[in-house]
Amino acid sequence: MKTRLILLLLLLFSVVAFGQKMPSDYFQEAHDYFEEGKLDKALAGYMYIVENHPRNELYPRALNNAGYICLLQKKYKKAIEVFSLILNGNQDEREPSGGNIMASPYANYCHWAACHISDCYYELRRYDSALCYWALADTVYPFLSDCGNAYAENDIHTSLHYADIYQKLGQPDKAIEKLLPQVFNTGLADNSKILTELKKLLAGKRKLPEKLDQAIDNVYLKTFTSNYGDYERYCIQWLGVEIRYPFRPFNSTDYNKANVMKWMRESDFYQMVSNMKR
């Protein structure tokens, strides 16, 4: 299983208990049990909130953590049931996670639920379903963060897992297609695993260095549209895949065709391909 599991902690809600046991008390007890390794008791605590306090603000957090524990216990079918409740809910994806901002300040409930359902199907060797939910996590419920490093790390992780699933499905060309957009280092995250995996998948293919040189010679500038407006990137077409060269603020004034061609040929990706059989 190649994912990152997220256990959401208790937020500091303002409640006055007046001696009555509140959902936050059950949540804290469940967390304490989890920390002690008493997973069954932790699961029971979170499920108590899920089953008895569906309108409480802690409900989606308890639901996420219950699914997390089921996944840890390899109760994959139960975990799918629990995480599916999140996908059918109306929780706020941007609810503060209480975690490290370098990962994401947001809970990303649906994103992680779709990821974890994909992981469950992967472990059950139902790779078509694993692919379906991984695509949902990537497109319908995209990862949200305020950190460029977190986005870059997520892009690499997402591509690697796509490639893994496609290989399990016996579709290596699709795996290559998913890895190629991440071959140029953004400077925000380590992409060495992308190159390692790609090298294995490309072994035996002919004339790759020549084709890459030809692609770089034909580099072109293209305009893209995002939620933040239009932007331009230099791109190449290689093995039927459009590959963008990342823009870096520190060399923004030098981001031109001649320099991008130079940087491409200085990249670890170019060196890897150049060392392959011609």
- Identify the weakest region by mean pLDDT among 19-33, 139-153, 198-212: 19-33
pTM: 0.89
Task: Give residue 96's pLDDT.
Answer: 87
Mean pLDDT value across the chain: 90
Chain segment 98-141, per-residue pLDDT in tens: 755 445 789 999 999 999 999 999 999 999 999 999 999 999 99
Residue 242 backbone dihedrals phi, psi, to 5 degrees: -80, 125
What does the buried/exposed string (b/e) look like for 227-241 if buried means 16 or more CB atoms within 10 Å of the residue's CB?
eeeeeebbbbebeee
Report pLDDT for 253: 77
Examine the pLDDT at 35 and tell me if it is beyond 60: yes
pLDDT tens-digit profile of 50-95?
Answer: 999 999 999 999 999 999 999 999 999 999 999 999 999 989 999 9
Residue % of the chain over a pLDDT of 90: 80
At residue 11, the pLDDT reads 54
| 58 or 7, greater pLDDT | 58
State the pLDDT at residue 102: 47
Residue 9 has pLDDT above 70, yes or no: no
Name which of 5-9, 130-134, 140-144, 159-163 the model is least confident about. Answer: 5-9
Q: Which residues contact 38 (CB under 8 A, 6 or more apart)?
A: none
